[in-house]
Chain A
């Protein structure tokens, strides 16, 4: 289309200016104001000066790491073996289907499953361990977050394995490599891009899942997302919230830089 009239894409350009650039500029701008509206660096001083915020950030990163690791451990074998099934596209569709269920509903299901009288506790009583406090623990937060993220990890890894040329695997076997050697020297390195894409798709949202820390984690785990939500909607200290937001954006850029190009959160299907 040589003569595409730019007037038609006016709305698109307007969108970029108003909803991409302006909000980013505003969140950085807002981070330099304290709660009473004075221009100040106090927010950054508070963030980097007091141990609380730094500890919270490290804690949040640690939990996001655990969630990502757990998701990866479950997803890689699933993606690998899914590739060897017949009708693999249909099975993949079934893996993706739960992502269409509203995230809040899935979290809500776990409130029932993990509660004092829930099914898991029934099972634990049945096998003789006795009921445990499951809901509102850190472990339940990690587990439910991993549950929600699993399809987003499986999808890119599945695609990477799907593209893997099977002759490499055959060649490796023919040359006498053991199963483990084939996996660690051939299959895994060749599918590392899928793993990276999956880690990106899981790690960044894991830093900001504030609804789960509230509903499942019982406010014991404070992630960066929880802190931002708290500052914006509860204590109304937008300046501090924006400061944490800026930190989260920087963290995001670093992760994207480390794991290469992030495809997109779109995860869902295609």
Chain B
């Protein structure tokens, strides 16, 4: 039994190594003085200083973050309203129809989304660039927000709303004081997912970006096709740290929220016992 257990751990260690070695490999060579990704000749910060003095790269990073922040914010608003709409539909047939339409963009391959959006923008005569990328990112982020918010709405107790209306709350007050606080964790999760979707996306952006506007993924693709440049390694190291902070921050915020809720419940139970 003992022996078999160690085999399992060995396998898990192997898988973890497989997953992380390439990432650390990239980061490791970002400190290479040699300028290649194969022979480590000495430690240097040179590629980082190059990166920070590359004004074009800085501009692309700012654009990428701007697109991610804006698109996730707008997608969260539209998606939350959409979830409320789906929730308020009573007939199951209509509900399922809207849900299926909602999920189409979730299951479509990126290439299809990119190509069909390209046709769509060209058909409308919409100029490709910042606007088309922003609209596309909003579009493919909306369904995930809906899917994050809807379960929260479904588990909400309807008597909460009845109580609020009985006590004379207006529709808006019911929404802002009762519903919104209740679904807030779902909205927050949706925003977070939309943000990472936008940062991660390559294929859709690649199709609808046109000339002159670039996001990080598109730039990395262009540079990687030309070969190795350790500036990209430096960039990937920074992005890894950024993603790590994002995930850890999200994880702890979730923990904090749920522990706050349990504390509140415990306090409530304590008072009831008295």
Contacts and interface: CB of A to CB of B under 8 A. Distances in A.
Contact of B239 (A3, A102, A118): A102
Contact of B25 (A24, A113, A214, A229): A113
A103 B200 contact: yes
B247 A228 contact: no
A8 B132 CA distance: 24
Given A12-B78, A26-B120, A119-B38, A77 B11 contact: yes
Interface string A102-126: 1111111111110101110010000
A196 to B, nearest CB: 14
Given A104-B224, A245-B115, A248-B112, A15 B15 contact: no
B221 A104 contact: yes
Given A16-B101, A26-B123, A102 B82 contact: no
B115 to A, nearest CB: 5
Contacts of A112: 25-26, 29, 37-38, 228
A112 to B, nearest CB: 3
A209 to B, nearest CB: 9
B205 to A, nearest CB: 11
Given A26-B119, A266-B193, A101 B243 contact: yes
Interface in A131-162: 147, 150-151
B193 A12 contact: no
A131 to B, nearest CB: 11
A242 interface: yes
Contacts of A106: 22-23
Classify chain A: how many residues form its interface, as a range: 35 or more
Nearest to A255: B107
B161 interface: yes
A174 to B, nearest CB: 17
Nearest to A103: B202
A115 B25 CA distance: 13
Given A100-B246, A211-B202, A4 B85 contact: yes
Contact of A12 (B142, B189, B247): B142
Interface stretch (A36-44, A80-88, A164-172, A183-191): A80-88
Contacts of B143: 264
B236 interface: yes
Contact of A238 (B16, B29, B119): B119
Interface string A8-22: 110111011011111
A224 B112 CA distance: 10
A102 B107 contact: no
A72 interface: no
Given A16-B101, A21-B101, A241-B115, 4 more contacts: A6-B85, A27-B119, A102-B199, A242-B115
30 contacts: A1-B87, A1-B179, A2-B88, A8-B84, A16-B98, A16-B101, A16-B102, A20-B104, A24-B104, A93-B251, A95-B19, A97-B247, A104-B202, A105-B236, A109-B26, A112-B26, A113-B22, A117-B36, A118-B37, A147-B22, A210-B203, A214-B225, A215-B221, A225-B109, A229-B207, A232-B207, A248-B109, A248-B112, A264-B103, A268-B196
